[in-house]
Amino acid sequence: MSSQWTRRHALQVGGAIGIFGVAGCLGLSGTDTNSPTLNQAAITLLNGGTLVTSPSCPCCHGYADILTERGVDRLDIVEQKNYAEPKQRAGIPRELWACHTITTEGYALERHLPVEAIEKLAIERPAIIGVVLPGMPAGSPEWEEALPMSSSCTPSSKMGQRVSIFIFDVC
């Protein structure tokens, strides 16, 4: 895997910023349980998806509950000791792994993503393998006392055998 930046990489970064930057500037705010129902595109994207988690992680069910409260009614939750398999299959680099992964319609969603990022992904349907939120966002279920983390989302783009990861601030 090459770490050299090409013009193609620069264009991918620009596209990723356009896709998720607007969502962040309009209020990418974490997992606020008082928010209204997800938009229909996000509900459609998540319904039929699978959330794979470690049996020892308490926060993942809380995150699934938030999605359910917002209109998602067919998200399967699978607890398995080897929860690395969906991350490896999706091509998410090990250093970005978290306690759970949602796989749905060809996308991998890693960690407690703000619902606005899921909505933007569902509407835009970019050519990426998924979205990762590095760190544990403050206020996440079961982690209410967590330190504030970067407000960056990480779209992951897979081209052939190469995986490129782009991290950027949304505002």
Q: Block means of pLDDT (10 residues each) for the chain, length 171 residues?
A: 46 43 39 66 95 85 89 94 86 83 92 83 86 67 48 47 37 32
Question: Structure pTM?
Answer: 0.66
Length reported for the chain: 171
Give the C-alpha separation, 64 to 17, whole Å.
27
Q: What are phi and psi of 147, to 5 degrees?
A: -70, 145
Task: Catalogue the E-assigned strands of the chain.
Answer: 50-53, 76-79, 100-104, 107-110, 130-132, 152-159, 162-165, 168-169
Q: Residue 119 is inside which H or E element, if any? A: helix 115-124
Report how far apart the first and last C-alpha atoms of the chain are (Å, whole number). Answer: 30
pLDDT of residue 126: 86
